[in-house]
Structure 1
Amino acid sequence: MAFIDYYKILGIQKNATQDEIRKAYRKLARKFHPDLNPNDKEAEKKFKEINEANEVLSNEENRKKYDKYGKDWMHAEEFEKAQQQQRSQRAYTGRSSEHFSEGDYSDFFESMFGGGRARGGSIKFKGQDYNAELNLNLKDVYKTHKRVLTVNGNNIRITIPSGVKNGQTIKIKGHGGQGINGGPNGDLFITFSILNNTDFKRDKDNLYKTVDIDLYQALLGDEIVVDTFDGKVKLKVKPETQNGTKVKLKGKGFPIYKKEGEFGDLFITYNIVLPTKLTDKEKELIKELAKLRNK
Structure 2
Amino acid sequence: MADKDYYQILGVDRNATENEIKKAYKKQAMKCHPDRCPGDKNAEAKFKEVNKANEILSNKEKRAAYDQYGHAAFDQQGGGAHYNTQFEEAFGSVFSHFSDIFDGGARRGRSRGPSKGSDLGYPISLTLEEAVKGVTKEITIPTQEKCGVCHGSGAKPGSSPMTCSTCGGAGQVIMGQGFLKIQQSCPKCHGEGAIIKNPCTQCHGQGRIKKSKTLAVKIPPGVDTGDRIRLTGEGEAGTHGGSAGDLYVEMQIKTHPIFERDGNNLFCEVPINFTLAALGGEIEIPSLEGKVKLKIPAETQTGKLFRCAGKGVKSVRSAGPGDLHCRVIVETPVNLNEEQKQLLSKLNESFSGSAGEKNSPLSQKFLDRVKKFCDHLTR
How big is each residue's C-alpha offset from its partner over 1:135-176, in whole Å with a ceiling of 9 and x where there is no partner?
A: 223232121111121122111111112222223333211111
Task: Tell me the distance in 2 between the aligned counterparts of 1:195 and 1:203.
Answer: 13
- Larger of the two Rg values belongs to structure: 2
The Cα shift of 1:280 comes to: 1.5
Q: Comparing 247-256 with 275-284, which one deviates more in the overlay? A: 275-284
Q: 1:269 aligns with which of 318, 324, 327?
A: 327
Say yes or no: does 1:232 pair with 2:294. Answer: no
- In structure 2, the gaps of 5 or more residues are 1-102, 143-211, 359-379
Secondary structure of 1:176 counterpart: coil
What is the TM-score normalised by the length of structure 1? 0.56
Q: Comparing 210-219 with 284-293, which one deviates more in the overlay? A: 284-293
C-alpha distance 232-290 of structure 1, shift in aligned 2 (>3 A): farther
Q: Does the 8 Å CA contact 2:280/2:298 hold for their aligned counterparts?
A: yes
Say yes or no: does 1:166 pair with 2:228. Answer: no
How big is each residue's C-alpha offset from its partner over 1:56-110, in whole Å with a ceiling of 9 and x where there is no partner?
A: xxxxxxxxxxxx79xxxxxx84x43x43xxxxxxxxxxxxxxxxxxxxxxxx4xx
Q: 1:288 aligns with which of 340, 344, 350?
A: 350
The Cα shift of 1:215 comes to: 1.4
What is the TM-score normalised by the length of structure 2? 0.44
Secondary structure of 2:133 counterpart: coil
Secondary structure of 2:301 counterpart: coil
Corresponding residue number in structure 2 for 1:199 = 258
C-alpha distance 230-290 of structure 1, shift in aligned 2 (>3 A): farther
C-alpha distance 284-292 of structure 1, shift in aligned 2 (>3 A): farther
Corresponding residue number in structure 2 for 1:127 = 117
Corresponding residue number in structure 2 for 1:246 = 305
Task: Tell me the distance in 2 between the aligned counterparts of 1:193 and 1:275.
Answer: 38
The Cα shift of 1:258 comes to: 4.5
Corresponding residue number in structure 1 for 2:364 = none
Give the total of aligned pairs. 184
RMSD over aligned CA atoms reads 2.7
The Cα shift of 1:254 comes to: 2.2
C-alpha distance 290-257 of structure 1, shift in aligned 2 (>3 A): farther
Secondary structure of 2:277 counterpart: helix
Say yes or no: does 1:147 pair with 2:206. Answer: no
Corresponding residue number in structure 2 for 1:279 = 341
Provide the identity percentage: 29
Question: Between Structure 1 and Structure 2, which shows a larger proportion of helix residues?
Answer: 1
Corresponding residue number in structure 1 for 2:127 = 137
The Cα shift of 1:291 comes to: 5.3
Secondary structure of 2:350 counterpart: helix
- Using CA pairs under 8 Å that are at least 6 residues apart, name the structure with larger relative contact order, 1 or 2: 2
- In structure 1, the gaps of 5 or more residues are 1-67, 70-75, 84-107, 113-122
Task: Summarize the alignment of residues 49-88 of structure 1 with structure 2, pairs less than 5 Å apart.
Answer: 77=106, 79-80=107-108, 82-83=109-110
